[in-house]
């Protein structure tokens, strides 16, 4: 009997200690990770800042998209105080992450909330092209994404699609007018990226597009 009482007291003390240590921030990040929309709604209704970042500088909305935690992501997007342009230390925005992850509905919601389609540096279009998400590429281009946007080292979305993305993504970008002759700071074209990535399909598409732009002078293509 005494042992049972001791165990009950120990449990009571442990629970009280845990409650005292836990903070609204703990609940916030736990809700994001577990996709607990009800818990997040309660926190926001109590005035918790939806733009709180974790110790690595990652904003909550970006974390939710990255997990992914779709129900929590919807709560963020429904909440008017959410800053949809809150970025992490790598200057990645929620729109970039949604484009990379292929979350078309989230991309559409973010664009509807005026997320920056043409931010300087790496752009959402670069990220969509990297994983070959054709529908998202189309959506971003329809919203006036700059097709030849250049990263800090001059890399374009077509170059990313050529090395990492899908054949359909390369084809779409070419058809939409991407400059196949552009070079980055290392002097590499999209065709060079395709060769480095060992992408014969992309090499063929890009070769045909380059021949249409100008005749070869060195016997290549």
d(CA 143, CA 116): 10
Kindly report the average pLDDT of the chain as a whole number. 91
Structure tokens at 72: 């929590």
The answer, yes or no, to whether residue 18 has pLDDT greater than 50, is: no
Domain chopping of the chain, boundaries: 24-90, 95-221
Chain segment 68-98, per-residue pLDDT in tens: 999 999 999 999 999 999 999 999 999 999 9
- Among 16-20, 40-44, 120-124, 171-175, whose mean pLDDT is lowest? 16-20
What is the per-residue pLDDT for 14?
45
> Which segment of 18-22, 50-54, 85-89, 208-212 scores lowest on mean pLDDT?
18-22
**Do 143 and 119 touch, CB atoms closer than 8 A?**
no
- How many CB atoms neighbour CB 154 within 10 A? 14
Report the Cα–Cα distance between both ends of the chain, in Å, rounded: 87
Residues sharing a CB contact under 8 Å with residue 215, sequence separation 6 or more, in sequence order: none
Question: What class is the 24-90 domain?
Answer: mainly alpha
Q: Are 158 and 181 in contact (CB under 8 A)?
A: no
Peptide bond preceding 51 in cis form (omega within 30 of 0) = no
For position 68, what pLDDT does the model report? 97
Alpha-carbon distance 133 to 64, whole Å? 20
172 pLDDT above the threshold of 70: yes
DSSP-assigned states of every residue in 1-58 = -HHHHHHHHHHHHHHHHHHHH--HHHHHHHHHHHT-HHHHHHHHHTT--TT-B-TTS-
* Contact present, 24 and 59 (Cβ < 8 Å): no
Q: What is the tens place of the pLDDT at every residue in 51-73?
A: 999 999 999 999 999 999 999 99
Residues 140-160: pLDDT tens digits?
999 999 999 999 999 999 999
Domains 24-90 and 95-221 share a fold: yes
Q: What is the pLDDT of residue 213?
A: 84
Residues 6 or more apart whose Cβ sits within 8 Å of residue 71:
35, 36, 37
pTM of the predicted protein model: 0.86
Helix (H) or strand (E) run with residue 39 in it: helix 37-45
Question: What pLDDT, on the 0 to 100 scale, is given for residue 218?
Answer: 56
Is residue 164 within 8 A of residue 156, CB to CB? The reply is no
Q: Which of 195, 136, 191 is nearest to 168 (CA)?
A: 136
The confidence score (pLDDT) of residue 115 equals: 98
- Of 1.10.3720.10, 1.20.1250.20, 1.25.40.20, 3.90.1150.10, which CATH number belongs to 95-221? 1.25.40.20
Residue 22 pLDDT level (bands cut at 50, 70, 90):
low
């Amino acid at each position: 009997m005494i042992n049972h009482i001791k165990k009950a007291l120990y449990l009571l003390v442990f629970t009280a200690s845990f409650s005292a240590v836990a903070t609204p921030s703990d609940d916030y990040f736990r809700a994001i990770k577990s996709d607990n929309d009800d818990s997040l709604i309660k926190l926001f209704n109590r005035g918790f800042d939806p733009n709180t970042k974790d110790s690595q500088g990652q904003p909550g909305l970006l974390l939710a998209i990255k997990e992914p935690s779709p129900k929590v992501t919807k709560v963020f997007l429904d909440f008017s105080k959410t800053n949809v342009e809150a970025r992490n230390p790598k200057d990645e925005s929620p729109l970039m992450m949604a484009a990379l992850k292929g979350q078309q509905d989230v991309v559409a919601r973010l664009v509807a909330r005026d997320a920056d389609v043409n931010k300087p540096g790496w752009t959402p279009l670069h990220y969509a092209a990297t994983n070959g998400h054709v529908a998202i590429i189309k959506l971003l281009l329809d919203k006036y994404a700059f097709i030849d946007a250049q990263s800090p080292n001059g890399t374009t979305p077509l170059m990313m699609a050529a090395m990492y993305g899908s054949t359909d993504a390369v084809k779409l970008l070419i058809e939409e007018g991407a400059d196949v002759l552009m070079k980055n700071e290392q002097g590499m074209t999209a065709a060079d990226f395709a060769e480095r990535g060992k992408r014969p399909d992309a090499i063929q598409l890009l070769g045909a597009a380059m021949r249409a732009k100008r005749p070869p002078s060195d016997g290549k293509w």
